[in-house]
Amino acid sequence: MAFVAPKETYSGKVYQVNIGTGANALSFGGENVLPFNAFEGAVPNKPVIAYEVQDVPPSDWPENVQKPYSSVSGDPVTWAKFCQETLKAKAIALRLVGTHPDRENRSPEDAAKTVKDVLSAINVPLIILGSNHAEKDSPVLIAAAEASKDKNCIIGKAQEANYKTIAAAAMANNHKLIAMSELDINLSKQLNILITQMGFDKERLITDPMCSALGYGLEYTYSVMERIRLAALTQNDLTMQPPMLADVGMYVWKIKETQAPESEVPLWGNAEERGIAWEATTAASLIMAGAELLIMRHPKAVSAVEKVIEELV
């Protein structure tokens, strides 16, 4: 029997989202096939990796991922510039962890100033993230969205508990928006619906189904992403068609495997290489499940994933 390639044509496609302004603006999403299945459809854009930068020094990051930034991470502006100029970051994700009530408890005004300073120092697209404190994120992200008005940033993350204020701020200031729910396709769909019912354009959304690290629930994120992508393509489900985010670095660099020194776990081998590989492998698995936007920390992990992306397209 002769071989006939069993190609698929899907009824749906992923929205293409563009971020930033000017020459360094970027697009991601836009494909009408499963990840990297260019043999049967259009894959107009590659996944984008943003470097994570914090408003406060990364004292809570493990040693091995603090090191590459040790001379710049005292200040978010220097840090962001370093990512753009030295590491050639295509995008930057500024996480305002310092606003968390249990951390430095910085005010929304402080956050707005940091956003302005960082924006004036860089020309690549900016993702602005809160501290993941549902209540505090509302005022912080409103201030941040205003401070970055018309810069076409991504604001996040809107969750069930706070989406109204954050989505309104993103809309009023012409930004894109991350909608995050907890590892459940139905919750994710429901949140996207709620946000679009407010009048927010679904083509300006990014879905975050919640990341998990390799060995720590990766299979849940992987399968929720695959299911979301299949719903978008095979059922033409419009609420599942925004591109997806994998917020990799934050989840990877808190687990034991990225920290334990080789002296404690000799069978696990070199700690630095292990940590970098952990972040890169988590990211590489999730782009195969459908993530188009990633937030990562270690420069070597980022370059490894960019290299594999080059080979995948």
Site map 196..235 versus ligand B12, x via CB under 6 A? ---------------------x--x---------------
**Which one of ligand B12, another protein, none is in contact with 207 (Cβ closer than 5 to 8 A by kind)?**
none
Establish if 36 lies at the interface with another protein (CB under 8 A). Answer: yes
| Between 146 and 160, CB nearer to another protein | 160
**Distance separating alpha carbons of residues 224 and 27, to the nearest angstrom:** 23
DSSP string, 84-103: HHTS--SEEEEE-GGGSTTT
Q: Does 288 bind another protein (CB under 8 A)?
A: yes
Q: Binding to another protein by residue 270, rule CB under 8 A?
A: yes
How far is Cα 132 from Cα 130, in angstroms, rounded to an integer? 6
Which stretch, 66-74, 132-140, 172-180, 284-292, contacts another protein (CB under 8 A)? 284-292
> What burial class does residue 87 get, using C-beta atoms within 10 Å of its C-beta: 0-12 exposed, 13-18 middle, 19+ buried?
middle
Of ligand B12, another protein, none, which one sits near residue 256, judging by CB under 5 to 8 A according to partner kind? Answer: another protein
Find the part of the chain contacting another protein (CB under 8 A) among 6-14, 68-76, 84-92, 144-152.
Answer: 6-14
Is residue 126 within 8 Å of residue 94, measured between CB atoms? yes
Q: How far is CA 119 from CA 50, 205, 295, in A?
A: 15, 21, 18
Q: Which is nearer to ligand B12, 183 or 238 (CB)?
A: 183
Pick 153 or 218: Cβ nearer ligand B12: 218
Closest among 6, 9, 11, 50 to 240, alpha carbons compared? 11
Q: Which residue of 72, 121, 183, 260 would you call a contact of ligand B12, by CB under 6 A? A: 183
Number of residues that bind ligand B12 (CB under 6 A): 4
Token pair for 200 = 């927010």
- Looking at 50-58, 88-96, 146-154, 250-258, which segment touches another protein (CB under 8 A)? 250-258
CA–CA gap between residue 15 and residue 57 (Å, rounded) = 35
